[in-house]
Amino acid sequence: MATEESGTGLPASIEAAWGLRERPGKGPRPGLSLGRIVDAAVGIASSDGLGAVSMSRVAAELGVSTMSLYRYVSAKDELLILMEDAAYGPPPPGEPAKDWRTGFTDWAWALRAAYARHPWAVNVPISAPPSTPNSVAWMERGLACLRRTNLSEGEKISVLMLVSGFVRNEARMTFDILAAHQRKGESLESSMAAWAKLLEKLTDAERFPAVTAALRTGELETPGGPDDEFVFGLERILDGVEALVSARS
Amino acid sequence: MATEESGTGLPASIEAAWGLRERPGKGPRPGLSLGRIVDAAVGIASSDGLGAVSMSRVAAELGVSTMSLYRYVSAKDELLILMEDAAYGPPPPGEPAKDWRTGFTDWAWALRAAYARHPWAVNVPISAPPSTPNSVAWMERGLACLRRTNLSEGEKISVLMLVSGFVRNEARMTFDILAAHQRKGESLESSMAAWAKLLEKLTDAERFPAVTAALRTGELETPGGPDDEFVFGLERILDGVEALVSARS
DNA sequence: TAGAGTTGTGTATACCCTACGCAGTAACGC
DNA sequence: GCGTTACTGCGTAGGGTATACACAACTCTA
C-alpha cells in the first residue's frame, strides 16, 4: 500500500485521503488509520509547533511503534501534506454571495481563519500544486465565487492562486511569527514597533534616506490591529482584479 | 562572540554582517570568516539544494571541523538567514525610474531575478521581519521608488511587503518546484498540464462543478511561459496600488 | 612574564528518518 | 478444512542531524 499508485500518480496515502483505494480484505484488521495518525500529528503541531512533529512522537501519542506509521504513509512529507489538508478543513458551506467581490472576500477571510486556527500549516513545505481533497474543495469554492465574472478560466485560476498565496503569506507574518514569539514567552505587544526601533539603530540617513524618512514619521511605532496589513493587501489586490473584471465585461 | 549582543538585540553573526563588532585583537588570528562560511553554504545550496546544507557538510567544504562554525554562528538558523541575505545581493544601483510604477516594476523583476539565481532562498524559513543588510537595502530601494507618490509612509511599507511577498511566493511556485523536479530528473515540460490531468481524474462534475468547467475549456493544458503568472499577478497588484495612489493625490 | 580572552577541535548526547526482516492474522482458492 | 497469500504491526539497526562542553594552542595586554 505504501508505494503503489493507481493511475493518478499520487502517493498512496493521498489517494487514500480521496477515498479511493478500498481496504483489501486480506490481512489482520488494521488497528490504526490514516485519519487517527493525521489527527495525532495535528494535535502535536497545535500544542508544540510543527517542529515537534516527529514520527516517533506521533507514534508515541497513538501508543504504537514508530514504524507502524509507515504502513499508512510512505514518508514524513506525505504526513505533512495530509496535516495541511486537515488544517484547511472543508470550505464554508452554502452558496457564496452573489456579488463576486464580497463572495471572494469572504473566501479569503475564511481561509485566513483556517490559518489562524492552525498557524503551523504555513510552514508545511509546498512541493506541488494542490491535490488533496480539502485544497481542491477550497479551489472549487473560490472558482464558484468568480463564476459570474467574465474572466477566462485561466484568469480565474490565476486570481485564485494570487489571492491564496497572499493569504498564506500574510498568515505566516501574522500568526506564525506571533505564535513562535508566544512560545518563547515574549509578549510581543507590537513586533512592528520593535522592528522600527531596530532599524533606527542599523540605518543611517546617508545610506538609507528613504528608510530613515519612513522611520522619522513614527508611523511604524503605532501598534495597529493584527488585521490591518491583511485588509490593506486584500483590498489592493481585489481593486486590481476588479479593474480586470470591468475590462472584460 | 556567539551569544553576546551589543544593543541591537540581533544575533552576533548578523551584527557582524552589518560590519559592527570589530575583531578583538586577543586570541589567535582567525583562519575562517563569516563570509567564507556563508559562501560555502550558498555553493552547496546552489548545487544540491537547501536540504543538503548541513553544518558538517559546510565544514567539510571548508576543510575545518564542524564545531569551528559555531565560533561564527550560534545556530544553523543564523547561517540560513545570512545565506538568504547573500542570495539577494545588493539591489540594482542607480536612480530608479521617475515614474513610480515602472520603477517599482523594475524592482519586482530584479527581486525575482535574485530568486531565479538562488531558488533555494525561498525555502529559508522566515522567523522575523527583514534585518540583514541586503534585505534592508532592497527595502530602501523599494521605498525610493515610491518616493514621489503621496502614500503615507505606513502605506508605502505595506505596499512593499505586499509586493515582496508576492514575488517570493511566485518564485517558489515557479523556480523552486521546478528546480526540485529537475533534480529528480523529471523534465516537467509543463507542470500545469500534468496538474490539470490529475485534477480531471480526481474531480467529478457533481461535487466539483466549477473545477470541471475550468478543466473542460482546456485552457490549463496550454503550457504558457514561466513568467505568465508573475506578470499577471504583478499587474493586478500594481493596478490596485495605482488606484490608491490616484486617490491620494 | 603572567593573565586573559579567542580560536579550532574532539568527544559525546540526543535526536531524527527510514530500510529491512520477522511474527502473527485473516481472508481466499482449492 | 487447509495451504497460500497478503497484510498488519514491531524491533533492530544504520546513517544522518544539531549542538553542548571541555581542552590545547595561540596572541595580545598589563
Q: Which of A236, A237, A238, A246 to mutate: most B Cβ within 10 Å?
A: A236
Rounded to a whole number, what is the distance in Å from the CA of A211 to chain B's nearest CA?
6
B219 to A153: CB separation less than 8 angstroms, yes or no: yes
Name the closest nucleotide to A67, judged by C1' and CA. D10
- Residue pLDDT, tens place only, A109-137: 999 999 999 999 999 999 889 999 999 99
Residue A242 has pLDDT above 70, yes or no: yes
CB atoms within 10 A of CB A66: 13
C-alpha cell at B154: 505606513
Which of A126, A213, A244 faces B236 most closely, judged by CB atoms? A244
Chain A residues closer than 8 Å to B148 by CB: none
pTM across the whole model: 0.93
Residue A205 binned pLDDT confidence (cut-offs 50, 70, 90): very high
Question: Please, where in chain A does CATH 1.10.357.10 lie?
Answer: 88-248
CATH code of domain B89-247: 1.10.357.10
Residue A53 has pLDDT above 80, yes or no: yes
Residue A166 has pLDDT above 80, yes or no: yes
The pLDDT value given to residue A1: 38
Chain B residues closer than 8 Å to A161 by CB: 173, 229, 233
Name residues 92-151 of chain B with a Cβ under 7 Å from nucleic strand D. none
Instruction: Tell whether domain B12-74 is in CATH 1.10.287.110.
Output: no
Question: Please, where in chain B does CATH 1.10.357.10 lie?
Answer: 89-247
- Residue pLDDT, tens place only, B162-190: 999 999 999 999 988 777 777 766 665 66
- Residue pLDDT, tens place only, B31-58: 999 999 999 999 999 999 999 999 999 9
Q: What is the mean pLDDT of residues A179-195?
A: 73
Name residues 30-69 of chain A with a Cβ under 7 Å from nucleic strand D. 30-32, 64-68
- Residue pLDDT, tens place only, A83-96: 999 999 999 999 99
Give distance CA A184 / C1' C14 (Å).
21
Q: Enumerate residues 6+ apart whose C-beta is below 8 A from B28.
A: none
- Residue pLDDT, tens place only, B68-106: 999 999 999 999 999 999 999 999 999 999 999 999 999
Asked whether strand C has any atom less than 7 Å from the CB of B64, the reply is: yes
Which of A155, A210, A219 faces B143 most closely, judged by CB atoms? A210
> Bigger pLDDT: B23 or B125?
B125
B126 to A180: CB separation less than 8 angstroms, yes or no: no
Asked whether strand D has any atom less than 7 Å from the CB of B28, the reply is: yes
The pLDDT value given to residue A189: 60
Residue B5 has pLDDT above 60, yes or no: no
Q: What topology does CATH give the domain A88-248?
A: Tetracycline Repressor; domain 2 (1.10.357)
CA-closest candidate to residue A44, choices A76, A6, A12, A4: A76
C-alpha cell at A173: 507574518
Q: How far apart are CA B53 and CA A76, in angstroms?
A: 19
Residue A238 binned pLDDT confidence (cut-offs 50, 70, 90): very high
Residue A211, amino acid: V
Q: B37-41, B58-62, B197-201: which has the minimum mean pLDDT?
A: B197-201
Question: Please, where in chain B does CATH 1.10.10.60 lie?
Answer: 12-74
C-alpha cell at A13: 496515502
Residue B6 has pLDDT above 60, yes or no: no
C-alpha cell at B5: 549582543
Percent over 70 (pLDDT), chain A: 95
